[in-house]
Amino acid sequence: MGEQSIELPTVEDTEAFGRRLAAELRAGDLVVLDGPLGAGKTALTRGIAAGLGVEGRVTSPTFVIAREHRPGSPEGRAPVGLVHVDAYRLGDGPGALDELDALDLDTDLTDTVVVVEWGGGLVEQLADRHLRVRLRRDPGTDVRRASWEWIG
């Protein structure tokens, strides 16, 4: 199908887009979010979490690296959990791979959706395919643009 894109004028639009993406996601899926600070990665994850119907408030996992959200009771879909990872602090090089391995995310991929911020070039090895979402913010405005495609 190739890369698709959308304009997201407000945070609410970004969250709504996340809910739409969640309808495509199943346990075992990996979502890699790429974008600078303020691009809407956590807002998008909040929308994905709402669409999956997971429990708990979604906030940036910057200081804990990963937050796990248990499955809730979503209407019309099988319950699935969410693991939200912020790979920004993992750094570069072989040490980053060791830190990533210590998070045991490949185990989480069996029964959850794993969403990773700042993980491009590092976490793709965890799954045979992943959804890559690129978020950009237009300079001088709050309008965000998202492009996404399944890789693999």
Amino acid 56: pLDDT:
83
Q: What are phi and psi of 51, to 5 degrees?
A: -65, -35
pLDDT of residue 102: 60
pLDDT of residue 15: 96
Question: No. of H helices and E strands in the chain?
Answer: 4, 7
> In the prediction, which pLDDT does 7 show?
96
Query: What is residue 1's predicted lDDT score, i.e. its pLDDT?
Result: 64
Beta strands (DSSP E) in the chain are: 4-8, 30-34, 66-69, 81-86, 112-117, 130-137, 144-151
pLDDT in the model for residue 112: 86
pLDDT of residue 128: 87
Instruction: Please give the average pLDDT of every successive group of 10 residues along the chain, which has 152 residues.
Output: 91 96 93 92 95 85 67 73 80 59 61 84 81 92 93 91
Entry pTM: 0.84
- Residue carrying the six token digits 């993980």: 119
